[in-house]
Amino acid sequence: MEEKSGIRSQMQIPKSLVDYINLMVEEVLLRGDSFEKNRKWLKKNCELARINYEELEKALDEFFDVLKDYDSTRSETFKRVVAEKAARCHISEELLLTLTSQKIAAPTWVDEEQVRVTHTMPEPKNPDPPFVSADPAVSLRPNALEKKLTPSLVFSILATIIGNVIFGILAIIESVKAKQRFLKADYAGCEKSLKYAYVYRWISIAVGIVFLMIVLL
């Protein structure tokens, strides 16, 4: 059963989406990342989990606003409201405690003026801030993982052609698994499959070279 707000209860939301929400909020509020940069990935993950993205986005905006007010006043009333808004956004108690126990830097907040500037001006070419995942098994951003999917499959096919067929096929299988896991928002599994595909490709090429040397000799 869904809540009246249109957002599913905490138990019905996939753990991968809950982890992503907490990671995104942590990056925006504690590491100065832009909420605008994360909206696309948040929407994609919501669509995969069949969650109402508009309602979740609205809840997050309200949470940011209330937390901003609490950050400036340190009022217990605002703190209770912050906790209520955090629950609607599926923010963990541990992260909420961190956010309410330290001063949030002003540049991390995204107000309406910042949103207008973001949509009217090109993004700077400065590199993104360091990515710190809530899951130790994930070391790459989702968009970085996505860029590796197609090359991994292409290179695996080439390794199958020029190297050992068995290890080449294993590399192709892992590349396909990586794509499937990415679409399910299983970023840790996706990155693991990409690493396996990388290893199998090089084994395939190495075995192929050894075999060729034996034949030539």
Are 15 and 72 contained in the same domain?
yes
| pLDDT score, position 128 | 45
Are 110 and 149 contained in the same domain?
no
For residue 187, how many C-alpha atoms fall within 13 Å in the half-sphere facing its CB? 23
Q: What's the sign of the alpha-carbon dihedral 171, 156, 147, 179?
A: negative
| Domain finish residue from 90, 120, 150 | 120
Are 24 and 100 contained in the same domain?
yes
Answer yes or no: is 133 within a domain: no
Q: What share of the chain is helix, strand, coil (3-state, %, to 5)?
A: 75, 0, 25
Answer yes or no: is 61 within a domain: yes
| Domain finish residue from 120, 150, 182 | 120
Long-range contact set of residues 58-65: C-beta below 8 Å, sequence gap at least 24: 59/5, 59/7, 59/85, 59/88, 59/89, 60/21, 60/25, 60/35, 60/89, 62/88, 63/25, 63/88, 63/89, 63/91, 64/28, 64/29, 64/35, 64/109, 64/110
Answer yes or no: is 130 within a domain: no
Are 22 and 53 contained in the same domain?
yes
Q: How large is the angle between the packed helices 142-162 and 187-216, nearest 10 degrees?
A: 20
| pLDDT score, position 165 | 92
| pLDDT score, position 131 | 43
Residue 171: pLDDT over 90: yes
Give the pLDDT band of residue 184 (cuts 50, 70, 90).
confident
| Domain finish residue from 54, 85, 120 | 120
Answer yes or no: is 43 within a domain: yes
| pLDDT score, position 36 | 73
Answer yes or no: is 183 within a domain: yes
Nearby residues of 78 by Cβ (< 8 Å), 6 or more positions away:
66, 69, 70
User: What pTM value is reported for the model?
Assistant: 0.44
Answer yes or no: is 41 within a domain: yes
Which amino acid is it at 75?
Answer: S
Are 149 and 108 contained in the same domain?
no
Are 100 and 159 contained in the same domain?
no
Domain that residue 24 falls in: 10-120
Are 17 and 114 contained in the same domain?
yes
Are 112 and 14 contained in the same domain?
yes
Number of folded domains that form the chain:
2
The C-alpha atoms of residue 145 and residue 178 are separated, in whole angstroms, by: 9
Answer yes or no: is 132 within a domain: no
Give residue-wise pLDDT tens across range 39-95: 777 787 787 777 788 888 888 888 888 888 777 777 777 788 888 888 888 888 888
